[in-house]
Amino acid sequence: MRVLVVEDQVELADSIGRVLRREGMAVDVVYDGGQALEHTGVTGYDVVVLDRDIPVVHGDDVCRELTGPRVLMLTASGTLADRVEGLNLGADDYLPKPFAYAELVARVRAIGRRSQPAVPTLLTHRDLELDPAKRVATRGGVRLVLTPKEFAVLEHLLAAQHRVVSAEELLDRVWDEAADPFTTTVKATINRLRGKLGAPPLIETVPRSGYRI
Task: List, for residues 93-127, the tens digit of each pLDDT value.
Answer: 989 889 999 999 999 998 987 756 555 678 999 99
- In a 13 Å sphere around the CA of 203, the CA atoms on its Cβ side amount to 22
- Tens of pLDDT, residues 147-168: 989 999 999 999 988 899 999 8
pTM of the model: 0.72
Rounded CA separation 181/35 (Å): 21
The domains located in the chain, with CATH, are 2-114 (3.40.50.2300), 123-212 (1.10.10.10)
Helix 10-22 and helix 101-114, axial crossing angle in degrees, nearest 10 = 70
